[in-house]
Every structure is written in C-alpha cells, then in structure tokens.
C-alpha cells in the first residue's frame, strides 16, 4: 500500500526521497528496444535532446538547475539489482518465457547511464545525452520523470501539511470519478486499458497509487503498466513495444535516398527477428502514416496490430482498418493501441466507436498520472496541465535525426532535412 502521500510530499528530502530509485523504473519498450539495439546496432552513437513542446512554460525558471543536476547524478549511480535481473531473465512477458537473451541480461548487469550535458537557454533547459546508442536510449524516461516530478515538488513546496492533504484528496477523488466512468464503459463491452504514464507522472508514489486504484476499480479491464518496476512489484503485465527512435536512427544512418525510404521497413525486419505475437505492433507515423501504409510490403499487414500515435484516435484507427481490409486482412483480428494524449472523454468515444470493427487497447498516460488541475488552491501551478516534454534523438553518428509525424507540431530536425524527408517519403 502506498504511504501517506501528503506526509511524504511535506517531508521531501533528496537523500531519502530520490525521484528515480532503480533503473527498472522505466518503460518496458525501452528494454525491448535496447535489446534490439544491443543485438543489431551496438556500435552506433546517438544523441538525445530534451524538447519542450510547450515553450510558454519556462521550466528552467520554475525549478533549480542544481536540483536537476543532483537527481540526474543520482540516476547515473544506479545499477540493476540482482533480483531485478533474475526477474527479467525468468519472467514471462507477452506469453513468452526468456524473452531477454542471457547475453543481454549480462550486458544489463554492467549497465550504467552515460554522462549528460545540462545548461540553460531562454528559460529552458538544454539537456543532452551523447554517446553509444545502447546507453543514451535509456536516459529518455528517467530524465522526463525527473523534470516532471521536480515541477510537481516545486508547485507543492509552499503548501502546508493540511493543504497538501486536500490536494491529494481532491486528486484521488478526481481520478476515482474517471475510473467510475470507465467501469461503466467496461460494463457495456470489451475494455482493455494499461498505464502509459511514467514519463509525465506527478511522482513515483502517485503513479503507484493510480495503479492500485485502477486494479481496484476496473479489475481485469485494467491489464498492465508500461512501468517495469511497478509491474514487478504489483504482478501486473509489463506493456510496451517500440518507439519512433528506431526508424529515426535507421533513417539517419541511410547513405542514399533509396535506403532512407526503406528504413521504416528495415527496422521492422530486425524487430521481427527478436519478437513475435503481440509485440509486433506497427508504429506507422514516424515519417507519415499515409505514405508508410501505401509503400508497405505485404508481409507487414500480417503483423498483430498498430499504434496510431499522432492522428485523432478514431481517424487513425479507421485509416488502419481500411488499409488492413484493402490488403485482404480481417480488421477484427487486428489490435489497435491508442495512446496519444488519451483522456477519459477520448477513451469513451474511441472504444464505443471502434467496438465491433477491430480490437482496441488503450494506453492511458498524462491524464491518468498527472492530472491535478483544479485540485489545489487558486494561483497554484496545478491550475494548468503539465508541459509537454519529450526527449528525442537529435543526432546519429554526427548526422541530424528527423521525425515528421502526422502532426506538424511534432516535427523535429533541421528544416533542410525535414524538407528532404518530406520529398523522399512523399509526405502528405
């Protein structure tokens, strides 16, 4: 059972309350991708960089750089514990035992996060991680979790004990109201929901409370969490497949336009050498979903499902359903994972619309683990949603990395390279 949250918040002290407590406090897809990187691209160097997609929130003005540096330094000192490695090596994931190879477990036993570079510019943190891809990839989740929890701690720093108690009481009530709505949705028909909220959570302990509330309120409709540490401690399924960084890096390594155009499919061939079943979930939007589907080899239509990540959920799902049908596949035998900024409203609307057309799974993120709007006294930083922070690949072997997305607001990379990728991929 999670301890009293208000008391813990009131008594925050870095020595006894670090934000990242274990390297296992990460999303499951990072370990799956890391094994693929270790297997197929062990010598590649890749730089990750922090991006604030909500630049109006000047996060460097809100939290002290020394605190950020101290928390990052603490994370660098962590190592995988023996019991954690035994659990990873021996547990069954996605219905398959020993999904992680012995050589990879040995690699993890010696793993440590690489150095970081931290400075400030125009009210924002310039945070970068340079080095081997096998190291820098693992900074994404802890770095984002650190920044988000430090912002939450700053917002609570002036609150007295009773105010904090009311803050958490209101946040709990707010979440329980959402769970009651989702319970009614589950009573109408199939509902599969998992926690995807690690990167932008309010805090480690709050995420744990959210998981316990979902277990109590939704029963079997809540089937897992992306957070590996919480999965190990609660017995929930560890959930996750792959992310945009894989095709971004493969594309940046391409030496010609032809190799670049094939990069999104080359990634999937390498992934399929390691993973099967429900781990074969397409992420088609890195360079635009429409052109990805139009150029996809036929074998890709045999994958288990897809995760539309940057179109409105129903629109993205309907495009995939139409594509599977055009390739002679039954959409009802496919799985669509909806995870982009899902809220209770969009979960209800999407599930009700798609039932009977395909199988649907929901990855619930920030709206689950960091929705404190309206829970604090007026004038608090909690009056506004948290900023949208991401940590993306910026360079690969000295070459710029690019992401197009179906949403131009999520483009990343130098303008001249974005234009080249739009041309090569026929982006529209």
Q: What is the pLDDT of residue 261?
A: 97
Residue 158: is its pLDDT beyond 70? yes
Query: By CB neighbour count within 10 A (0-12 exposed, 13-18 middle, 19+ buried), where does 385 fall?
Result: middle
Which residues lie below 8 Å from residue 203, measured CB to CB, with a gap of 6+? 19, 149, 152, 153
> What is d(CA 347, CA 52) in angstroms, rounded to the nearest whole number?
26
* Residue bearing the bigger pLDDT, 381 or 341: 341
The tokens describing 83, both together, are 């019991």
Residue 9: is its pLDDT beyond 80? no
- 264 and 287 Cβ atoms separated by less than 8 Å: yes
Q: What is the pLDDT of residue 12?
A: 63
DSSP classification of residue 333: G
DSSP-derived 3-state class of residue 57: coil
* pLDDT tens column, 88-146: 999 999 999 999 999 999 999 999 999 999 999 999 999 999 999 999 999 999 999 99
The torsion angle over the Cα atoms of residues 186, 190, 194 and 196, rounded to 10 degrees, is: -90
The tokens describing 334, both together, are 């496919």
- Give the DSSP per-residue string, 61-129: HHS-HHHHHHHHHHHHT----HHHHHHHHHSEETTEE--S-HHHHHHHHT--PPP-EEEEETTEEEEEE
Which residues lie below 8 Å from residue 50, measured CB to CB, with a gap of 6+? 125, 126, 127, 128, 143, 147, 389, 390, 391
Which pTM value belongs to this model? Answer: 0.95
DSSP-derived 3-state class of residue 278: helix
Instruction: Pick the range with the lowest mean pLDDT from 344-358, 372-386, 413-427.
Output: 372-386
> What is d(CA 77, CA 128) in angstroms, rounded to the nearest whole number?
18
* pLDDT tens column, 183-201: 999 999 999 999 999 999 9
Residue 6: is its pLDDT beyond 90? no
The tokens describing 365, both together, are 């993120």
* pLDDT tens column, 288-307: 999 999 999 999 999 999 99
- 220 and 194 Cβ atoms separated by less than 8 Å: no
Number of neighbours of residue 276 by Cβ within 10 angstroms: 13
Q: What is the pLDDT of residue 246?
A: 98
Q: Distance from first CA to last CA of the chain, Å, rounded?
A: 49
Q: Report how far apart, in Å, the C-alpha atoms of 186 and of each of 176, 180, 193 are.
A: 15, 10, 10
Residue 14: is its pLDDT beyond 60? no
Q: What is the pLDDT of residue 84?
A: 98
The tokens describing 240, both together, are 């996750």
Strand partners, 121: 124
* pLDDT tens column, 32-91: 999 999 999 999 999 999 999 999 999 999 999 999 999 999 999 999 999 999 999 999
- 117 and 173 Cβ atoms separated by less than 8 Å: no
Residue 219: is its pLDDT beyond 70? yes
Q: What is the pLDDT of residue 210?
A: 98
Q: What is the pLDDT of residue 312?
A: 95
Which residues lie below 8 Å from residue 184, measured CB to CB, with a gap of 6+? none
* pLDDT tens column, 250-297: 999 999 999 999 999 999 999 999 999 999 999 999 999 999 999 999
Average pLDDT over residues 323-342: 97
> What is d(CA 261, CA 247) in angstroms, rounded to the nearest whole number?
11
Nearest to 183 by CA among 227, 213, 225, 226: 213
Q: Which residues of 299-327 are buried (b: 16+ CB within 10 A; e: fewer)?
A: ebbebbbbbbbbbbbbebbbbbbebbeee
Largest Cα–Cα separation, the chain:
62
Q: What is the pLDDT of residue 3?
A: 63
Per-chain mean pLDDT for the chain: 95
């Amino acid at each position: 059972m999670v301890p009293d949250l208000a008391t813990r918040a009131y008594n925050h002290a870095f020595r006894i309350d670090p934000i990242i407590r274990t390297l296992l406090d990460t999303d499951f897809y990072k370990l799956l991708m890391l094994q693929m990187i270790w297997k197929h691209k062990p010598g590649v160097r890749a730089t990750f960089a922090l991006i604030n997609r909500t630049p109006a929130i000047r996060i460097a003005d809100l939290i002290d750089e020394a605190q950020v540096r101290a928390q990052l330094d603490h994370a660098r000192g962590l190592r995988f514990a023996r019991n954690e490695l035994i659990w990873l090596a021996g547990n069954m994931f996605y219905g398959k035992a020993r999904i992680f190879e012995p050589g990879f477990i040995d690699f993890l036993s010696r793993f440590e996060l690489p150095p970081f570079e931290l400075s400030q510019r125009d009210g924002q943190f310039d945070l970068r991680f340079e080095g081997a891809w096998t190291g820098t990839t693992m900074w994404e989740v802890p770095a984002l979790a650190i920044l988000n929890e430090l912002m939450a701690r700053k917002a609570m720093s002036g609150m007295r004990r009773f105010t904090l108690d009311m803050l958490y009481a209101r946040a709990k009530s707010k979440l329980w109201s959402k769970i009651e709505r989702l319970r009614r949705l589950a009573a109408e028909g199939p509902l599969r929901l998992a926690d995807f909220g690690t990167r932008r959570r309010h805090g480690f302990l709050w995420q744990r409370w959210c998981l316990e509330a979902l277990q109590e309120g939704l029963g079997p409709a809540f089937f897992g969490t992306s957070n590996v540490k919480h999965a190990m401690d609660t017995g929930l399924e560890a959930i996750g497949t792959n992310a945009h960084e894989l095709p971004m890096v493969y594309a940046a390594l391409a030496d010609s336009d032809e190799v670049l155009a094939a990069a999104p499919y080359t990634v999937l061939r390498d992934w399929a050498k390691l993973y099967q079943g429900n781990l074969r979930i397409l992420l088609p939007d890195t360079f635009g979903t429409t052109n990805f589907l139009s150029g996809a080899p036929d074998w890709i239509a045999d994958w288990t499902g897809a995760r539309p990540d940057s179109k409105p959920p129903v629109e993205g799902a309907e495009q995939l359903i139409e594509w599977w049908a055009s390739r002679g596949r039954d959409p009802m035998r496919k799985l669509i994972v909806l995870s982009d900024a899902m809220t209770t409203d969009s979960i209800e609307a999407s599930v009700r619309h798609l039932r009977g057309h395909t199988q649907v799974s929901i990855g619930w993120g920030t709206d689950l683990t960091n929705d404190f709007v309206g829970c604090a006294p007026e004038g608090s930083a909690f009056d506004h949603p948290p900023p949208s922070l991401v940590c993306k690949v910026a360079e690969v072997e000295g070459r710029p990395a690019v992401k197009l997305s179906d949403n131009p607001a999520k483009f990343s990379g130098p303008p001249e390279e974005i234009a080249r990728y739009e041309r090569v991929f026929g982006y529209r």
